Amino acid sequence: MSIKKIASLITALAIAATITACGNNQTASQQTTAATTASAETTVGETTSAEETTEATTAETTTEETTADTTAEETTAETAASSEESTAETTAETTAETTTATTTTEATTTAETTTTTAATTLPVSTASYPLSNPNADEITQKVYDYICENYGKTMLSCQQESTWMGSPDYEVDYIEETTGKLPAMRGLDFMNADFDGVVKRSKEWWDKGGIVTICWHTGVNGKGYQESLNDDPDFEKLLTKGTDEYNAMIANWDKAAKALTELRDAGVPVLWRPFHEFDGQWFWWGKGGSENFIKLWRMMYDYFTDEYNLTNLIWVLGYSDYVKDGWYVGDEYCDIIGSDSYKNNTNLRAWRIFDKLDKSGKPRAFHECGNVPPVSDFEKDGCIWSWFMVWHTDYIKNNDAANLKNVYNSDLVITLDELPAFK
């Protein structure tokens, strides 16, 4: 077992014992300073009627959405999102609870008693909301704490960039012209081996006071969008160390890892969202099924964490809007879960599936959408995501300008000028 895994297990036990989970699972003591803003999470927590159960079950078995979400080149891969638990998550939670129970002196104890007992016997992280990597650097932890503390209260605005419209600022310039504001977070993509460009623009956005999130459309061995769709690897060979397939994939990963290392050394935290929309299974990383995907994700996590010591990553597990069961990678391998959807709504269906499948308490993100709905819709539906990110080019331009302005100027939405100074 790697050092990271041992440390992660200790951290996981501490989290369970001290009940410091963020998001919907925050304890009463953590909620004291946020009581006036917790209604959105409470609303969602109460939506467990038979009607919602039927909706979530139907969503997983329906086939008509597959057609609706595969209409255009970018839409094919960017039109869905979701999240799952795995057996590893259940095991980790059960182990944590059992360990905590053995430290108490009574058979039945309250949460308060458990917390007191565990605090005297387990090493507790000083972070309010510990990341999956116990060695995460301080500034990355600050960003994650900020996301956790505001989850369910406000949403970060985020915009995906393009690089082929004359300027990589094509989208953010349009947002500023339309709303008078800039997004709090910028979405970038290592697609087509644009490592140097992404590093440069990430540093610039961070220096501007913003937050950075990076995804990666790539084939098994490199290049871009089409390869991410068309590649269909032999997963048995791909996941076996020493094979030609494995070595070629790792050589490609090394390029991304080196770029992320440069950002680490520059003090830039990254919300890292690899292998997105995995449960949609249109990209190569999902074509091998859930078991192979989980192995693939964990392999990258361990490689980037243990071999490259990438302490600046916040790992974002990005489902499609199907949110299929059985694809969750485990609490110790991700920090945020989320879903993509291009149905021009709040993505409430995915949120409700998370309510039923996800017990991690991790923040949830609406990490790709087409048209952002009115803020009142998010409030009415009770799904206040950590952030929403509108996709690039025509997607942002097709948003209703008046609504976009209202969204960016809403008290519920955080823009660049409203972020704290993390440095």
More confident: 38 or 217: 217
Q: Dump the DSSP string for 224-245.
A: -HHHHHH----HHHHTSTTSHH
What is the CB-side half-sphere exposure of residue 346 using CA atoms within 13 A?
A: 19
Chain segment 407-416, per-residue pLDDT in tens: 999 999 999 9
Within a domain: 21 = no
Within a domain: 122 = no
Within a domain: 225 = yes
Paired tokens of 328: 């969750």
Give this prediction's pTM.
0.73
Within a domain: 120 = no
**pLDDT for residue 377 is more than 90:** yes
**pLDDT for residue 144 is more than 50:** yes
CATH classification of the domain holding 215:
3.20.20.80
- Give 350-353's long-range contacts (Cβ < 8 A, gap of 24+): 350/81, 350/82, 350/83, 350/319, 350/321, 350/323, 351/44, 351/381, 351/383, 351/385, 352/44, 352/47, 352/52, 352/55, 352/56, 353/56, 353/59, 353/60, 353/82, 353/83, 353/323
Task: Outline where 266-362 has alpha helix (H).
Answer: 290-302, 348-357
Q: What pLDDT score was predicted for residue 114? A: 34
Within a domain: 28 = no
Across 27-41, average pLDDT: 34
Average pLDDT, the chain: 79
Chain segment 124-134, per-residue pLDDT in tens: 345 679 999 99
Domain span at residue 208?
3-8+33-86+130-418
| Partners of 89 in beta bridges | none
**Is 384 within 8 Å of 111 (Cβ atoms)?**
no
d(C-alpha 85, C-alpha 161), whole Å:
31
Angle at 152 between CA 178 and CA 345, to 5 degrees: 50
Q: What pLDDT score was predicted for residue 128? A: 78
The domain total for the chain is 1
d(C-alpha 379, C-alpha 375), whole Å:
7
**Is 362 within 8 Å of 334 (Cβ atoms)?**
yes
Phi/psi-derived region of residue 64, left when phi > 0, alpha when psi is between -120 and 50, beta in every other case: alpha
Within a domain: 276 = yes
Across 195-223, average pLDDT: 98
d(C-alpha 385, C-alpha 150), whole Å:
10
Angle of helix 111-121 versus helix 3-18 axis, rounded to 10: 140
Judged by DSSP in three states, 263 sits in: helix
Question: What is the 3 state secondary structure string of 117-182?
Answer: HHHHHCCCCCCCCCCCCCCCCHHHHHHHHHHHHHCCCCEEEEEECCCCCCCCCHHHHHHHHHHCCC
**pLDDT for residue 94 is more than 90:** no
Confidence tier at 349 by pLDDT (50, 70, 90)? very high
**pLDDT for residue 39 is more than 60:** no
**Lowest-confidence range among 50-59, 349-358, 380-389?**
50-59
Within a domain: 289 = yes
**Is 175 within 8 Å of 406 (Cβ atoms)?**
no
**pLDDT for residue 363 is more than 80:** yes
Paired tokens of 315: 């790992």
Q: What pLDDT score was predicted for residue 127? A: 65
Chain segment 285-302, per-residue pLDDT in tens: 999 999 999 999 999 999
Within a domain: 27 = no
